[in-house]
Structure 1
């Protein structure tokens, strides 16, 4: 089996890049060590989208669309061309993991959200204990787990995708993970996690690993 290239862009104004990087490296540690996966991190969004021309096995996005949400709320990075390039890459056989903030503040009617079949709606101002429960059969989540987390509430076209994870807290319940084919490629969306302890959680990392491996076609 050849080496699978995974291309990632992680971190934004509200999400520390080093925490997400550690989570992704930890989740894929065995595959990186045995040489079956090469994990590359882009320094910025332009490098990330340009890297899709190399046709990686999968691309992972853990960053919202807004680049300066405190001072310039309307300033975003994803242009129409970026969205078209991403969709073209996936439909041509690539894999895409929209992880946590990779779902946030992208145009609800745009090509990117259409490919994901969903998008972030809101989260409560306070972190709460969130219980994540496997759904679907078979799904990517092997077991339920709990995190003190930023509970994401999402819009998801459930009838058009395979929901494999649900979330519940004192603030309500939502879909937390879903996956589907897009052309010749695969798309996976995953809403946990936000805090450093959640990103380091072993059960969550196993789910992250399974999500990347399914998206990149390392596993079915």
Structure 2
């Protein structure tokens, strides 16, 4: 039976179509079937149920990041619903902007064991190195021009499967862990269309989906 996944993709700075294309490329590489249903951030809390095997979030918390009064979609109630979904056995992929601007929502960042801190304004060549001791060890390390995410992460060393490095420094770029009866995977790349469709990256994304 195909996995039933709910995907929430796209925000002000991250185009939904690019994320969909990247997700399709990853799914096409997988042996196990996955069915994707799409929703918006505003629908996510009401859509959460045990009919989903997992959720893919590629959207930041800010709804209107360039306005003077910035609104966010995730409050503590939504975060508690998400945490409950995962604790009961659901899976959660926090992908790129799915880590961004959630630092004030402790329930969510505690579940993720991390959150986005910042990225340099200028995109640089970022090297993503796979940990050879991890479940992702068969994959290749790769380099893409990217928005280099620097994150705060409390994951244990054995939970980290990928690191990133550029002229701007080094960071953790991928980690996964159990949360209650469920599973959480966090993945920081990628921003640009070139990076999102890079074959080496889509193989990592496929491996992350396989873990859900």
Runs of 4+ in structure 1 deviating by more than 2 angstroms, as ranges, are 46-51, 138-141, 158-161
TM-score relative to the length of structure 1: 0.91
Given that 2:76 and 2:105 are in contact with CA atoms closer than 8 Å, whether structure 1 keeps it comes out as no
1:183–1:53 Cα change, 3 Å: same
- For residue 179 of structure 1, report the CA deviation from its aligned partner: 0.4
Given that 2:5 and 2:56 are in contact with CA atoms closer than 8 Å, whether structure 1 keeps it comes out as yes
2:9 corresponds to which residue? 10
Given that 1:66 and 1:73 are in contact with CA atoms closer than 8 Å, whether structure 2 keeps it comes out as no
Structure 2, unaligned runs of 5 or more: none
1:15–1:85 Cα change, 3 Å: same
- For residue 58 of structure 1, report the CA deviation from its aligned partner: 1.2
Structure 1, unaligned runs of 5 or more: 216-220
1:29 corresponds to which residue? 28
- For residue 133 of structure 1, report the CA deviation from its aligned partner: 0.2
Determine which of 92, 95, 101 is the counterpart of 2:97.
101
- For residue 156 of structure 1, report the CA deviation from its aligned partner: 0.3
Per-residue CA deviation, residues 8-67 of structure 1 (Å, 9 max, x unaligned), is 001001001100011011110255xx882111111x213223222143111000000000
1:7–1:143 Cα change, 3 Å: same
Aligned residue pair count: 211
Inter-partner Cα distance in structure 2 for 1:147 and 1:112: 29
Determine which of 195, 198, 202 is the counterpart of 1:201.
198
Per-residue CA deviation, residues 137-178 of structure 1 (Å, 9 max, x unaligned), is 133251100010000000000337600000000000000000
Alignment root-mean-square deviation, CA: 1.7
Given that 1:12 and 1:63 are in contact with CA atoms closer than 8 Å, whether structure 2 keeps it comes out as yes
- For residue 78 of structure 1, report the CA deviation from its aligned partner: 0.5
- For residue 81 of structure 1, report the CA deviation from its aligned partner: 1.2
TM-score relative to the length of structure 2: 0.94
1:187 corresponds to which residue? 184
Inter-partner Cα distance in structure 2 for 1:188 and 1:13: 23
